[in-house]
Each structure stands twice: as structure tokens, then as C-alpha cells.
Amino acid sequence: MSESIMKTDVVIVGAGPVGLFAVFELGLLDLKCHVIDILDRPGGQCTELYPEKPIYDIPGYPVITGQQLTEKLMQQIAPFGAEFHLARMVEKLDIQPDGSFVVATDAGDIFHARVVVIAAGGGSFQPKRPPIEGIEAFEGKSVFYSVRRMEDFRGEDVVIVGGGDSALDWTVSLAPLAKSLTLVHRRDEFRGAPATVNQMRELVASGRMNLVIGQVSGLEGANGALLAVRLKTRDGSEISVPATRMLPFFGLTMKLGPVADWGLALNDNLIAVDTAKFESSVPGIFAIGDINHYPGKLKLILSGFHEAALMAQAAKKIVSPDERVIFQYTTSSTKLQKKLGVA
């Protein structure tokens, strides 16, 4: 092997919560990890799409945001020194004669690992761009597809476009901060949670926001700075609404990407796994979290945590087949507590 190839026990594809917790479970078993993610920071969908949105079903936390959960997981895995390779995509995987893997990214990184863990959520994802002429010039400056910091919208004229959970959730959350807020949807029916729809309608009734039934027909502004959004209303008339920030929520395009070409058994674009090890049809390649499929699968973060724990036990047997592994609890094992730096 060339010296430019990074050798490790495990390559994890995906730095969302499940991929991060896999680092912890593998670390307890002395397995070293390199983590690759297409996003520019850890956290996956939690930090990309709803960093400040509350999550209520993480054990031990009555409420925690996506960003907070990511920060806690990063603290938890710190003792294990995983190396992160962000803003890059895995392009190629080659199986070696001994059953190990050589993994290459679009940034030229090459890894040699005995185990590959795919924890890539629904695959690489990107927001659907609405068909509005010239929108590209405003993206990242005044048109955004996610809310990373609510404070960035304080005192701004905000236009939110869409009728699903994301559009409604951020409408309710940003209305108290914005100078003005307008929600635009093509019809007066919404796909979001009924309670959130009711909250939105109460804000409209009290005059704290506007609801326009129609579609965006154009953007006004220059050099990436939005000034107004032109809307075509249900009755066919055109109006202009002040806007210094626009949030279009037209859903996400989820792509399995190059993983689809790795020869893995798939079920409706998800990786089929067993429920004892969460191993794919290719020995040594595991899939955990939203990207896998098995009977009874629930797409919950806590389910992915369970899958990571069982995967790690199986991965240890592949990396160290001759080592006898004794199952231990972090509450009582001095050895594990030393690894965590708490002994």
C-alpha cells in the first residue's frame, strides 16, 4: 500500500448523529475511525436542516436541538480521536483480495479499512431549487434553504415559501424575530402538523404575519441582496412583497449517490441489512440509520443508536478475529472508564 493511503480500522460514511455515535461504540472496542461527510461540518440533517428545531425523543433529554445533540455527541466521542474528512463525497470503493476495502473520495483522499460503515441518512441530499429565474444569484446571500442561525433573520423582511412542516415550523419560529413575515403557498391547505397550522393562522389573524395564497413569479434586487419578491396571487393579480430574506421549502432531493454502484442489495434505494449485525449483503460493509432497511425499521435517531451498538460488536470480530471480547458496561468497567478519561 502507498504511504498516501490512510490506514484505519473503520471508515464511516456520514457524520450525522448515528455516524457520530458509531465512533463512540467502535472506540469502546479500540477500533479507530475515519469519518467522511458531504457536508462541511458534523451533524448531518440535524445541523443542516433544523439546527435549532427541538427534538423530543432522545433518551435522557426532554428536549434538545439538532445542534445541541451534535455538540454533545462530539464531546462524547472526543476521547477516541476520530479523524473527520468533511465537504467531500465517497466516489469509489474497491474490495481487496483479503476482504478489506479501499475507499476514495472526490477530494483525492484514499483510505484502506477492514470495515466500512454507511451512516449516510437518506444519502447525499440537496434542497429542491424552485423554478424562479435568477434565483442562483441570491442563494447563500439572501435566499436560504435552511435556517442555521435564527438571529440572522432578526429585523429582516422574511418571505417563506412552502406548505409543509419546515415552512410552517420556521414561520412560527421566525415571526417574533422578523421585521415582517409573509408565508406564500399555492393553496390554502397545508401538509404540516395541525397544531402548527393553527399557530400560523392565529399569527395571521392577529396581524403579526401575512399569508398569501399564490406563487413566486420573480425576485427584485441586485448583487445577491434581495429587496422584494413578486407574487402571482390566486386571482391572477401580481403583487410585490418586501423581502430581504427568502426561505423556499420545496423539499429535498435525496440521492443514494455512488453507494448505489457498490453491489449492495437494495430495497427501494435503501440498503438491506440483517438485524443481528446490520451488515449489508457485502461482508464487512454495514449500514446503520435511515439509509438501511429491514422488517420493522423505524426511522428514528434512537433506532440508529441501537444499530450502531450491534454493528460495533460485529465489526470488532472482523478487525480482530482472534481477540476474545468480553462485553463490559461503562458504569462498572474501569478499563472503559479509562478510555473515556473518567476513571
CA dihedral 258→261→267→269, nearest 10 degrees, is: 30
With beta carbons less than 8 A apart as the criterion, state whether 11 and 111 touch.
yes
Find the range with the poorest average confidence among 99-113, 214-228, 242-256: 242-256
Q: What's the burial of 187, exposed, middle or buried (CB within 10 Å: 0-12/13-18/19+)? A: exposed
Q: What is the mean pLDDT of the chain?
A: 92
Structure confidence at residue 171 as a pLDDT band (50, 70, 90): very high
C-alpha 86, offset from chain centre:
13
Instruction: Provide the b/e sequence for 73-91 (b: ≥16 CB within 10 Å).
Output: bbeebeebebebbeebbbe
Q: What is the 3 state secondary structure string of the chain?
A: CCCCCEEEEEEEECCCHHHHHHHHHHHHCCCCEEEEECCCCCCCHHHHCCCCCEECCECCECCEEHHHHHHHHHHHHHHHCCEEEECCCEEEEEECCCCCEEEEECCCCEEEEEEEEECCCCCEEEECCCCCCCHHHHECCCECCCCCCHHHHCCCEEEEECCCHHHHHHHHHHCCCCCEEEEEECCCCCCCCHHHHHHHHHHHHCCCCEEEEEEEEEEEEECCEEEEEEEEECCCCEEEEECCEEEECCCEEEECHHHHHCCCCEECCEEECCCCCCECCCCCEEECHHHEECCCCCCCHHHHHHHHHHHHHHHHHHHCCCCCCCCCCCCCCHHHHHHHCCC
CATH 3.50.50.60 positions along the chain are: 6-125+253-340, 129-249
Written as nine digits, the cell of 175 is 415571526
The predicted pLDDT at position 16 comes to 94
Q: What is the CATH number of domain 129-249?
A: 3.50.50.60
Task: Tell the residue number behind the cell numbers 422574511, with chain if given.
Answer: 158
- Give the pLDDT band of residue 200 (cuts 50, 70, 90): very high
Residue type, 75: Q
List of residues 6+ apart from 15 with CB closer than 8 A: 35, 36, 37, 39, 41, 42, 43, 44, 84, 86
Which pLDDT band holds residue 45 (cuts at 50, 70, 90)?
A: confident
- Residue 182: pLDDT over 90: yes
Question: What's the average model confidence in pLDDT over 307-321?
Answer: 97
Region 159-187 average pLDDT? 95
User: What CATH architecture is 6-125+253-340?
Assistant: 3-Layer(bba) Sandwich (3.50)
Query: Where residue 2 falls among pLDDT bands split at 50, 70, 90?
Result: very low
How confident is the model over 94-123, as pLDDT tens digits? 999 999 999 999 889 999 999 999 998 866
Integer Cα distance of 45 and 68 in angstroms: 13
Q: Check pLDDT > 50 for residue 274.
A: yes
Per-residue pLDDT for 44 more than 90?
Answer: no
Query: Which residue has better confidence, 330 or 147?
Result: 330
pTM: 0.68
Residues in the chain: 343
